[in-house]
Every structure is written in C-alpha cells, then in structure tokens.
Amino acid sequence: MESIWSKERPRILTDNRPLPNRAEVVIIGGGMAGLLCAYLLKEAGVAPIVLEADVVCSGQTGNTTAKITSQHELIYDELTTTFGTTTASQYGSINQKTIDEYERIIKEKRMDCEFRRLPAYLYTKTEDGARTLEMERVAAKKAGISASIVYETDLPFSVKMALKYDRQAQFHPLKFLSGIVPELEIYEHTRVLRVNGQEAVTEKGTVTADHVVMATHFPFVNFPGFYFARMHQERSYVLALEAKQPDGATVQLDGMYYGIDSDGLSFRSAGNQILLGGGSHRTGKVQKENPYDALRREAAALWPGYRETARWAAQDCMTIDKLPYIGRFSKSRPNWYVATGFGKWGMTNSMIAAMAIRDMILGRTDPDWQCVSPERKLTKKAVGTLMKEAAATTKNFLTPERPRCPHLGCRLVWNPHEKSWDCPCHGSRFAEDGGIIDNPAQKNKSV
C-alpha cells in the first residue's frame, strides 16, 4: 500500500559514518518537518544533523495528499469564536507564508517537483453547509484571507456552494525533498532511544547538542510536555485512480477540493491521476466496511470504468483545539523544540514548524508564532475535549483484554481491514508479527 509518491523517495548514501559527539542542533525525525527545519537552519548558517530511525520519508510524509494551503477545513470561524480575531489572523498569516516559502525554495533550487499554484475549495451539497461556508468566508476575510463564494466547480457533480481560496498550491513532496536532502547531514537507521537533557542517546552513540528538535510526528517523550494526553491520531484513506470523461479524455481537476458534509470527500489531480480521499476515523476504531471499498464505490459512481493505480492511508495527529503544537517543548526544557499535531495539513504545518523553530533557535521574534505555541492557554472547549480524551483513554487502560501497547499499556484493537493491531488511545500501530508501524511506541508489541 505505497503512495504514488514513494517511488521518488530520496536516497541517502550510507557510508557508515560514526555519529558526531556534538552538534549545534539535533533534529529527531527525517520527514518533511525535520528535513525542512534542517534546511532552513543550514541556510541561516547553523549546522544541524538529522537522526532518522528508519530511512528518510518512511513515515507520514510519503502518505500525504500534498496540498499546501491556508484552507484548513472550517478553521477560521472556529478560531475567531474560541480564540479571537488576532489568533485567527496570525494563523492565516503564517499559513500564507508557507506557500510563498515553498515557492521560494523551489525556484531557487530550480526543482521539478510538480509545484502548481491553483485554488483550493471547500464545498457542500446542502443548505446548512452553504450557511456554514458563508460564516467561514466572513471569518476568513477578517483573518486576512481572501476567499470567495462560487457555485460552479469542475467536480463531477453539482454543489450547493463552494468557498474558493485563490493561489494555493500542490506538489510532489518527495521530489521536493530530493532537491534539499543532498545538502543535509542525515543519519538513517539511527533510532533515538531517549533524550537526557541535551543528549540524544541512540544505539550507535550519544550526541550532545545545544538544541534538540523533536519532529517525530508524535513525540515519543511523554514527560514533560504530556503531548500523549493532548492529542489522538486519526486515519484517512486515499485512492489514486485514472478516470475518463464520456468523450474519452482523461479527467483533470484545476483545483483541490475538500467536502465539509459528513460524507464529504477530497479531490486533487496528480499528473494523469485523481486522488480521492475520505473515510476519516480515530485510529483504533474499527470500521464496519473496508474504507477502501467505500472509496471504490464512490469512484465507480463518479467515473464508471475507472482504473485504480494505488491506495494508501494517512495517519494524523489531532490536537484538542485544532491548532498544531510548534515551538518550545516545555518550560522545563527551554532548548527542546517540538513539531506535532499537524492535523490533516502536514505539508503546510511542516513549513510553519521549520520557519518557527529556526527563528526561535536564532533568537528572532515573530508574534505570529504565538498562535501555535504548545504553551498557549486552553480554551473552555479545549478543556472539555481534554476531559473526553482522558475518559476514553482511562476506559481503554482499564479494559482487561490483551495485547497491550508497549507505549503506555493501552489495550490494542485488531484492525481486520489493514491487518494491524491499533492503539485507540495514542495511535500506535503494529503489524501481525508485532513490528512497529506507527509511533509513539518505541518498541515492538509482544507476540
């Protein structure tokens, strides 16, 4: 179940270099966030090293739909309501910056990574959805984001309304990373076992650093920070398919689409293929129907005779207030930094993390980064979500069934559709033989 991007995974020339004893910055995690952070730091004159447990881009980066956008579902109305206009404006500003920053790097490096500027749409088929989109348009405008209502799209069905965000972008993420990886000092197959102060302890030795960046998707360090209590993980599914118009022409979309209705789907073109996404659910919650079969049924209704070329699943860290955690890991670890909780917008938030952490390490001040600080105040709604998360986790801890997750001991649930053992508490996943598929667990499940 590899994505269409995976064939272009960057290759690191392994020369069995010994780990250095010291580095200015140690970045743990060789996905988009970690590699971008390393690139921007090196560009600024800092010498980072990247430690990756497997090979670069072997985690969630290869499972994205690769949209770079400030359109993050229905975010601006909620941010305005719960945090205020200032936070909503900061969030809009930093997301717009990321699109420009990707474009800057791509142009400077003259990359061929299928980067395209094109609109992103939220769409609905219902009257209630149309009212919701109008509220989102007003909130986005107040936040400084240009968005307009339209009634016609190039989707293969009619919509009640769509909210159009101009000059967003999409790309091929691993072709992009292939353009920056050769400049970076990366150590693959180097799992960090623990972090003691400024020491990153691995099976191959210990590296002492002035700054430690944890870009491991879900932090494996539980204390301090308590990120395991402030997030859960969700899975969603993608089909890559080739489809034809009635006249025989290949189906192409001139935009990226995200449905806000309960049965909404996502769409984007990738070369001569369409990426069809949907079926989101909490990791560890077993679905009655195979999610891929549900997507295939939708695809057949839209494009009879389509051909499936690939399928894969993404796993996303969801925070209790919909904002990512980017910045200082905790007050008691001032030289640790974290990049996590990206929701379903990993490409955009990876660049935000790289820019924000670079600025913090360099001592630069930008008030816009405050909106994603892990130390931000909890809203009343977030406290309620936190309590629900705690109750669900406690229930799974107290359930006597085995096997248990080696992360914190939560019971594991068998996923018959993906043939894996999944943790409903924090989202770790394991193969039938017990091998780790997804973190935060650091060791295999006992079989």
Specify whether the CB–CB gap between 32 and 350 falls below 8 A: yes
What domains does the chain contain, in order, with CATH numbers?
A: 6-65+175-230+322-380 (3.50.50.60)
For range 291-302, the mean pLDDT = 97
Q: What is the DSSP letter of 72?
A: -
CB 132 within 8 A of CB 259: no
For the four alpha carbons of 313, 317, 323 and 324, in that order, the dihedral sign comes to negative
Four-point Cα dihedral 14, 19, 24, 30, nearest 10? 40
pLDDT for position 11: 80
Which whole number is the average pLDDT over 301-329?
96
**Burial class of residue 27, CB neighbours in 10 A (0-12, 13-18, 19+):** buried
Contact partners, residue 206, CB within 8 Å, separation at least 6: 19, 21, 199, 200
Angle ∠(206,207,209) on CA atoms, nearest 5: 150
Q: According to the model, what pLDDT value does residue 141 have? A: 96
Span 390-425, pLDDT tens digits: 888 888 878 777 899 999 989 999 999 999 999 999
Q: What mean pLDDT comes out for the span 304-326?
A: 96
382 φ, ψ (degrees, to nearest 5): -65, -35
- pLDDT of 161-175, one tens digit each? 999 999 999 999 999
Beta strands in 215-285 (DSSP E): 231-242, 256-259, 266-270, 273-282
Q: What is the per-residue pLDDT for 430?
A: 95
Q: Is the pLDDT of residue 178 over 80?
A: yes
Q: What is the mean pLDDT of the chain?
A: 94
pLDDT of residue 401: 78
What spatial distance separates the first Cα and last Cα of the chain, rounded to whole Å? 24
For the chain, give me the number of helices (H) and strands (E)? Answer: 8, 21
- Largest Cα–Cα distance of the chain, in whole Å? 64
Counting residues of the chain whose pLDDT is more than 70, the rounded percentage is 99
Q: Which band of pLDDT confidence, cut at 50, 70 and 90, is reported for residue 131?
A: very high
Provide the pairing of β-strand 22-28 with 48-51: parallel
Average pLDDT over residues 305-326: 96
Measured CA to CA, the distance from residue 340 to residue 120 in angstroms comes to: 24
Q: What is the pLDDT of residue 267?
A: 98
Instruction: Express each pLDDT in 75-116 by its tens digit.
Output: 999 999 999 999 999 999 999 999 999 999 999 999 999 999
Let me know: does 145 contact 92? Beta carbons within 8 Å.
yes
E-strand ranges in 126-230 read 147-150, 161-170, 186-187, 192-196, 199-202, 205-214
Q: Is the pTM of this model over 0.85?
A: yes
CA-based nearest residue to 292, from 238, 339, 254: 238
d(CA 394, CA 260): 31
Higher pLDDT, 145 or 392: 145
Is the confidence at residue 13, as pLDDT, over 70? Answer: no
Please report how the helices 346-362 and 85-109 are oriented relative to each other, as an axis angle in degrees rounded to 10.
90
The encoded tokens of residue 80 equal: 């305005």
Q: Tell me if 290 sits within 8 A of 417, measured CB to CB.
A: yes
Residue 15: pLDDT band by 50, 70, 90 thresholds? Answer: low
CA 185 to chain centre: 23
Q: How many CB atoms lie within 10 A of CB 324?
A: 29
- pLDDT of 447 over the 60 cut: no
Per-residue pLDDT tens for 369-380? 999 999 999 888
Query: pLDDT value at position 9?
Result: 84
Residue 64: which pLDDT band, with cuts at 50, 70 and 90?
very high
**Mean local confidence (pLDDT), 13-18:** 74
Q: Is 168 exposed, middle or buried (0-12, 13-18, 19+ CB in 10 A)?
A: buried
In the chain, the amino acid numbered 304 is P
